[in-house]
């Protein structure tokens, strides 16, 4: 007799379900009894006495993130037959094994069902003794399920106010870091139940409940990261290479550094991907003719960097760069440091914030900066406004137009052509749901607790108009996060880091440069510190160029290290 199949699961994960559906209570109890006797230690046996009740059980399991391993249904049931039940169940649990209970007279029907619902097996009633006629069949089905079923996903829960800026930030943080979570409003029934179970009230939100049941009231990003499995502490004190920033340039640098044998650590403030990671669709990146979302692209890059041994440390805010002989050290906001022979600055840029009445107060409550992916589901059948004229704004407008009633793209310039890729201009201008307002700016946001209206201004005439909307997504400008480098590295008037030829004065190396050789192409005013991607002055501000510069910076790191 073979032992029941088991699978390697986390101790906190609920047991997968074995669901039996039969309208005869006696048969239902008999099936459940035999299943519990054999499989009760590893699987949770659940029974239902109709197809409709069985579907309700599956919906509840799906909502809780639990798994269904085997479905056993009687063929002859009123209302919904066993075949019909198994066919519907495939939509919720396509990988669950499907077994039909049938009488000898219905054998032909059971055989035909193999082609209809991809039936895995059928059992003739009665199956006594179960050791010979039931358990061998179920053992085989469970072994097959274990080999193919995905690992269980136990989701983190977030409870918060719908129009809370911090609640929105937490959801964005989890989503961008690929952490599965479920969102509950604090005034909804499940949200209230979770708060009651935690002994908290609405004043404590946002509240995060981890998969282990730990409750975090109004937590910081670092606290959440540490509890959901993200790395928040460097494993070592010194590396060959430290990369600051986890956008395309930083991920590329970490990947190539680690794959070429450098002890590499990447430190990131919020989430890998940068602005590219927030893009709903990138269609002009080499090798993806059908397009790819920014989150998919950067998540693949993150996994690839980890595969080669790069260390990725999250929620680390760099506040200083220190130079001590040949060593370079990045200082964090908590006072700790991490040292390295070389540093690649790839911290990218952030969207500039709108300056005017109401915008600061309503940020996260209807006014959002680069968070179209997270908030898009709530915009269904609403009128949405997007500010910006570059690719990120166009991609957001296209994405939102799938479900929004209308999308208005507000652009200060005279046309989209000067800042948006040609292919995207064509898509935007031919989309019936998108309206483009050129030579227009948003000057005020109005609302009590959340956005209700916007004030638009005509840049040529100065005329103003007020429009009703609860949604504004902002994708304007590029502000580099480089204030922490003040007094250490040379930057241009906009804060972008100067590197390579941009450091030369009238074609000559400046007197402050300490080495006999000129700076390498991506090398900053401090030898051994390089800049890649959008943070670098005069960069192309495209994903492909950022990836290329990240790889090139590693090549220059090798050249620098050879001379130490």
Percent of the chain with pLDDT over 90: 65
Q: Report the CATH number at residue 71.
A: 3.40.50.2300
The answer to whether residue 51 is domain-embedded is: yes
The answer to whether residue 166 is domain-embedded is: yes
Instruction: Evaluate whether 242 touches 265 at the Cβ level (below 8 Å).
Output: yes
**Domain end call among 148, 165, 195:** 148
Does 234 score more than 50 pLDDT?
Answer: yes
H helix runs in 368-417, sequence order: 372-375, 391-400
Please provide the average confidence, as pLDDT, over all residues in the chain.
Answer: 90
Domain of residue 431 covers 359-474
Instruction: Evaluate whether 245 touches 268 at the Cβ level (below 8 Å).
Output: yes
Residue 65 has a pLDDT of 57
Residues 6 or more apart whose Cβ sits within 8 Å of residue 361: 445
H helix runs in 44-188, sequence order: 51-63, 82-92, 107-117, 130-133, 135-148, 165-176
346 and 486: one domain? Answer: yes
ω into 11 cis (within 30 of 0):
no
**Average pLDDT value for residue range 536-559:** 95
Q: 181-185, 288-292, 532-536 — which one is most confidently predicted on average?
A: 532-536
267 and 304: one domain? Answer: yes
Does 63 score more than 60 pLDDT?
Answer: no
Give 416's pLDDT tier (boundaries 50, 70, 90): very high
**Average pLDDT value for residue range 532-536:** 96
Give 350's pLDDT tier (boundaries 50, 70, 90): confident
CA atoms within 13 A on the CB side of 307: 9
Number of domains in the chain: 4
- Element (H or E) spanning 562, and its range? helix 543-562
Does 11 score more than 70 pLDDT?
Answer: no
Q: 155-159, 211-215, 544-548 — which one is most confidently predicted on average?
A: 544-548
Residue 9 has a pLDDT of 41
The answer to whether residue 557 is domain-embedded is: yes
For 377, which DSSP code? G
The pair of three-digit structure tokens given for residue 213, joined into one six-digit string: 């049941």
Rounded CA separation 168/156 (Å): 15
Residues 6 or more apart whose Cβ sits within 8 Å of residue 235: 265, 311
For 420, which DSSP code? S
Rounded CA separation 439/469 (Å): 20
Does 10 score more than 70 pLDDT?
Answer: no
Percent of the chain with pLDDT over 70: 94
Instruction: Evaluate whether 30 touches 51 at the Cβ level (below 8 Å).
Output: no
202 and 325: one domain? Answer: no
278 and 400: one domain? Answer: no
435 and 498: one domain? Answer: no
Q: 173-182, 250-259, 502-511 — which one is most confidently predicted on average?
A: 250-259
The answer to whether residue 26 is domain-embedded is: yes
pLDDT digits (tens, 9 = 90+) for 384-403: 999 999 999 999 999 999 99
Residue 182 or 464, more confident: 464
CA atoms within 13 A on the CB side of 552: 15
Q: 210-224, 233-247, 501-515 — which one is most confidently predicted on average?
A: 233-247
Give 7's pLDDT tier (boundaries 50, 70, 90): very low
- Element (H or E) spanning 159, and its range? strand 156-160
The answer to whether residue 379 is domain-embedded is: yes
For 522, which DSSP code? T
Instruction: Evaluate whether 442 touches 455 at the Cβ level (below 8 Å).
Output: yes
**Domain end call among 99, 125, 148:** 148
Residue 3 has a pLDDT of 41
Residue 478 has a pLDDT of 77
The answer to whether residue 409 is domain-embedded is: yes
317 and 218: one domain? Answer: no
The answer to whether residue 3 is domain-embedded is: no
141 and 51: one domain? Answer: yes
Instruction: Evaluate whether 563 touches 342 at the Cβ level (below 8 Å).
Output: no
**Chain center to CA of 102:** 45
Residue 28 or 530, more confident: 530
Residue 370 or 302, more confident: 302
Instruction: Evaluate whether 105 touches 134 at the Cβ level (below 8 Å).
Output: no
The pair of three-digit structure tokens given for residue 445, joined into one six-digit string: 């946001």
Q: Report the CATH number at residue 168.
A: 3.40.30.10
pLDDT digits (tens, 9 = 90+) for 495-533: 999 999 999 988 899 889 999 999 999 999 999 999 999
461 and 496: one domain? Answer: no
**Average pLDDT value for residue range 109-128:** 74
The answer to whether residue 503 is domain-embedded is: yes
Rounded CA separation 212/214 (Å): 6
388 and 458: one domain? Answer: yes
**Average pLDDT value for residue range 538-543:** 89
340 and 483: one domain? Answer: yes
128 and 23: one domain? Answer: yes
Does 89 score more than 90 pLDDT?
Answer: no
**Domain end call among 227, 248, 283:** 227
Residue 429 has a pLDDT of 96
9: buried, middle or exposed (CB in 10 Å: 19+, 13-18, 0-12)?
middle
Q: Report the CATH number at residue 425.
A: 3.50.50.60
Q: Which of 143-147, 221-225, 544-548 has the lowest mean pLDDT?
A: 143-147
Residue 67 has a pLDDT of 87
200 and 120: one domain? Answer: no
Residue 122 has a pLDDT of 82
Residue 110 has a pLDDT of 65
């Amino acid at each position: 007799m073979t032992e029941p199949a088991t699978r390697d699961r986390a101790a906190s994960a609920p047991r997968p379900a074995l669901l039996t559906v039969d309208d005869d209570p006696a048969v239902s109890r008999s099936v459940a009894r035999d299943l519990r006797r054999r499989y009760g230690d590893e699987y949770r046996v659940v029974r239902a006495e109709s197809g409709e009740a069985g579907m309700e059980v599956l919906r509840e399991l799906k909502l809780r993130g639990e798994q269904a391993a085997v479905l056993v249904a009687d063929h002859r049931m009123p209302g919904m037959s066993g075949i019909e039940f198994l066919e519907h169940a495939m939509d919720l649990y396509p990988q669950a094994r499907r077994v039909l209970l049938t009488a000898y007279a219905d054998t032909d029907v059971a055989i035909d069902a193999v082609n209809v619902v991809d039936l895995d097996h059928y059992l003739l009633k009665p199956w006594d003794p179960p050791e010979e006629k039931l358990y061998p069949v179920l053992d085989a089905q469970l072994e097959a399920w274990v080999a193919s079923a995905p690992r269980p996903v136990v989701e983190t829960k977030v409870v918060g106010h719908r129009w809370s800026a911090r609640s929105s930030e937490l959801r964005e943080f989890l989503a961008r870091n690929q952490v599965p979570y479920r969102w509950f409003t604090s005034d909804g029934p499940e949200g209230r139940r979770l708060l009651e179970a935690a002994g908290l009230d609405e004043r404590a939100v946002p509240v995060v409940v981890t998969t282990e049941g730990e409750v975090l009231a109004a937590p910081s990003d670092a606290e959440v990261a540490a509890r959901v499995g993200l790395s928040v502490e460097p494993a070592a004190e010194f590396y060959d290479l430290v990369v600051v920033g986890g956008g395309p340039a930083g991920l590329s640098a970490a990947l190539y550094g680690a794959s070429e044998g450098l002890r590499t650590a990447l430190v990131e403030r919020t989430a890998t991907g940068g602005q590219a990671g927030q893009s709903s669709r990138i269609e002009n990146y080499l090798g993806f003719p059908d397009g790819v979302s920014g989150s998919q692209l950067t998540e693949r890059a993150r996994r690839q960097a980890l595969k080669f041994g790069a260390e990725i440390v999250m929620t680390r805010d760099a506040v200083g760069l220190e130079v001590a002989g040949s060593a370079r050290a990045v200082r964090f906001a908590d006072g700790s440091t991490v040292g390295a022979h070389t540093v690649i600055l790839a911290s990218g840029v952030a969207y500039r914030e709108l300056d005017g009445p109401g915008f600061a107060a309503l940020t996260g409550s209807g006014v959002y900066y680069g968070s179209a992916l997270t908030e898009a589901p709530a915009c269904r059948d609403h009128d949405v406004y997007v500010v910006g004229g570059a690719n990120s704004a166009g991609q957001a407008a296209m994405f939102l137009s799938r479900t929004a009633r209308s999308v208005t793209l507000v652009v200060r310039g005279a046309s989209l052509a000067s800042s948006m890729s040609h292919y995207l201009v064509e898509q935007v201008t031919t989309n019936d749901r998108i309206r483009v307002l050129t030579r227009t700016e948003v000057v005020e946001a109005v609302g009590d607790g959340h956005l209700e209206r916007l004030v638009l201004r005509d840049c040529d005439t100065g005329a103003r108009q007020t429009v009703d909307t609860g949604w504004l997504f902002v994708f304007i400008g590029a502000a580099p996060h480089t204030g922490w480098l003040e007094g250490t590295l040379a930057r241009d008037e906009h804060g972008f880091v100067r590197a390579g030829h941009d450091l030369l004065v009238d074609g000559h190396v400046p007197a402050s440069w300490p080495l006999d050789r000129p700076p390498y192409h991506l090398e900053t005013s401090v030898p051994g510190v390089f800049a890649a991607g959008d943070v670098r002055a005069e960069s192309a501000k495209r994903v492909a160029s950022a990836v290329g510069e990240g790889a090139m910076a590693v090549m220059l790191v090798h050249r620098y290290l050879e001379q130490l």
